[in-house]
Amino acid sequence: MNVRIVTEVNGQTRELDVHPGTTLLDLLREQLGITSVRRGCEEGQCGACTVLLDDRPVYGCLTLAVQADGRRLTTVEGLPTPPGGVHPLVQAFVDHHGLQCGYCTSGLILAAYALLRRNEAPSPQEIRQSISGNLCRCTGYVNIERAVAAAAASKTAGEWPR
């Protein structure tokens, strides 16, 4: 019943046997132990399970693992990081108090990463609209916007690792 897929996970090519009904969320968490991808509503509303599929943010709970065949998956663990360092986007979230409980944070970081890839200098309105598919219950989003704006500035200034 299982299907073999070949997918690049955080820069590493993996050959995996997956049940066709397995979601990306379950593949990443249960089969690959990548726990930054979180289980929230599991119905495509909260975005805690956000994963980048070929640089596009998708809900891991609504995407089948087989859809990752021949494609790239990126989670927070896979963001390019200087040796012994922290990705500037992650640092911006910490510096601007953009997380409280932190449960939604991985998903938000990936959504922000995807936004800044497309649009290096988003307006506050663009930041809000692009990331409105990710829910946060703790922060009221105010500091998240500041964190993303700060990260955008550091990207424009060339401070991001390649």
Partner 1 sequence: METRELRIASGRGRFVDDIHLPGMLHLVFVGSPYAHARLVRVDASAARAAPGVATVLTGRDLLGTTDPLPVLAQLKALGWEWRECEARPLAVDKVRFFGEPIAAVVAETRDQALRAAERVEAEYEVLPAVTSARQALETGSPLLYEEWGDNVQAHRTYRWGDVDAAFARADLVVPVSWREGRASGFPIEPRGCVAVHDPVMDLLVVRGSIQCPFRARQTLAHVLRRPVNRVRVEAVDIGGTFGNKINVWKHTVVAYAALVTGRPVKWLESMREFIATGPHQRDVSWEGEAAVTRDGRLLGLRCRLVQDLGVEVSNRGYAGGSLPAACCALPNAYRIGALEVDAYGVVTNKSFYCAYRGYGKDKGIRFMERVMDRTARACGLPLHEVRRRNFIGPDEFPYEQLTGYVYDSGNYPAVLEKALDVARWEEWREKQREARERGRYLGIGLAFLVEPAGVASANVTSGIAQARIRLTPDGIVEVYSDRTEVGQGAEASHRKVVAQIVGLRPEQIDVPAVTSDVAGIGPVSSRGSVYSLSAVVRAARKFRDKLALLAASLWREEACGIEIRDGVVRSGADPEKALTLAELARKLYFVPGPRGLTEDLLLGDDYLPEVSATWFSPNTAKHPSSTYASYCASADVAVVEVDVETGVTSFLDYFHVHDAGTIIDAEAVDGQIHGGAAQGIGEALFEELVYGEDGDLRTGSYTDYLFPTFVDVPPMETAHLETPSPFTELGTKGMGEAPSIGAKAAVISAIEDALSPLGVNVEEAPATAQRVRGWIRKASNQRRSGGAP
What tokens does 94 get?
A: 């910490």
C-beta closer to partner 1: residue 5 or 25:
25
> What is d(CA 153, CA 27) in angstroms, rounded to the nearest whole number?
34
**Does 124 help bind partner 1 (rule: CB under 8 A)?**
yes
Neighbours of 40 (CB within 10 A): 20
Q: Kindly give the pairing relationship between strand 3-9 and strand 50-53.
A: unpaired
Q: Which of 50, 63, 74, 105 binds partner 1 (CB under 8 A)?
A: 105
Q: Which of 8, 31, 39, 71 binds partner 1 (CB under 8 A)?
A: 39
User: By the 8 A CB rule, do 108 and 51 touch?
Assistant: no
**Does 141 help bind partner 1 (rule: CB under 8 A)?**
yes
**Site string (63-82) toward partner 1, x via CB under 8 A:** ------------xxx-----
**Does 94 help bind partner 1 (rule: CB under 8 A)?**
yes
Q: Which of 134, 151, 152, 155 binds partner 1 (CB under 8 A)?
A: 134
What is the identity of the amino acid at 91? Q
